[in-house]
Structure 1
Amino acid sequence: MNFFIEISENKVLLSSFTAWFIAQFMKICLTLYKDKKLDLTRFVGSGGMPSSHTSFVTALATSVGKINGWDSTSFAITLCFALVVMYDAAGVRRAAGNQAKVLNIIIDDLSQHKPLGEEKLKELIGHTPKEVLAGAILGIIIANLLA
């Protein structure tokens, strides 16, 4: 039981998961505003505004920096980890999403002539730089409020 109490008092975990939760909740709200439909799958989906991966890791790094010191090894590790995640979100995963979009167009074009029975590929898996920046700002704000 002591384990769960200690986990619940961990400010680094609290700020990281809170930043992730708020980012995912914001995706639902923004989808509702933009598309005029409630899409609860946005809560667990990747891609979109803001980047929850980025808010999660920036809250992690900011919290660790505040608690352990900006010159600590643990802050350096979490900052490097955050930079890799943000690069991946805006680079590799975004490129994969763009490729999925092109493949879906090809599948649509081919299916006009004969049925392929292929499932559409998920296109919204990466982030624009703006979505990553918004996630970073959110994570830093949440960590500063909670850590």
Structure 2
Amino acid sequence: MSEFLTSLGHNIILLSAFTAWLSAQLLKVLTSFLEHREFNAERLVGSGGMPSSHTALVVSLAFATGLQDGFASSTFAIAVILASIVMYDAAGVRNAAGKQAKVINRLVHQMRVEHTLPDIKLKELLGHTPLEVLAGAALGILVAYAFDIFR
């Protein structure tokens, strides 16, 4: 078991991806604090926000794979396809679902005034703007490059 954990600790690609994700989550707390002037612990694990941690993770994974295995390798190609799907989902599908949740929450609030409805609130911060995805991608590349330089 210790040999397995040691090998994980030497896996630059895995460490790069995890570090990019963790950095993005910490940056979400900071950007949320700067925007709302209050600490929101949910930002440490929640989806949505600046920058996209999912994007930072998969772009760091792809870029670190390219740096280690070569940008012409099949593993890099697989990682790029995975990153593309995640980024499309973050800025497209999940962003649209978050906008729909906002509208539904407003409708439920308005209808509760006139009718008896259960008190429900859908999570609105699901996806990302293109800028949040771009920032996550830049962070992912930066982290992977830093791991490559210092290994």
- The TM-score bracket by the shorter chain reads over 0.9
Alpha-carbon distance, 1:34 to partner: 1.1
Q: Distance in 2 between matches of 1:117 and 1:37?
A: 29
Matches within 5 A, 1:62-101: 62-101=63-102
Q: Distance in 2 between matches of 1:66 and 1:120?
A: 44
**What is residue 111 of structure 1 aligned with on the other side?**
112
Alpha-carbon distance, 1:114 to partner: 2.7
Alpha-carbon distance, 1:65 to partner: 0.2
Q: List 4+ stretches of structure 1 deviating above 4 A.
A: none
- The TM-score, its normalising length taken from structure 2, stands at 0.95
Moved more, 9-18 or 115-124: 115-124
**What is residue 34 of structure 1 aligned with on the other side?**
35
Provide the secondary structure at the position in 1 that maps to 2:114.
Answer: coil
Report sequence identity in percent: 48
List gaps (5 residues or longer) in structure 1.
none
**What is residue 61 of structure 1 aligned with on the other side?**
62
**What is residue 7 of structure 2 aligned with on the other side?**
6
- The TM-score, its normalising length taken from structure 1, stands at 0.98
Alpha-carbon distance, 1:115 to partner: 3.4
CA offsets, 1:76-134, max 9 Å, x none?
00001000000000000001001101100110110111331232000100000000000
Q: Distance in 1 between matches of 2:116 and 2:36?
A: 30
Provide the secondary structure at the position in 1 that maps to 2:115.
Answer: coil
List gaps (5 residues or longer) in structure 2.
none
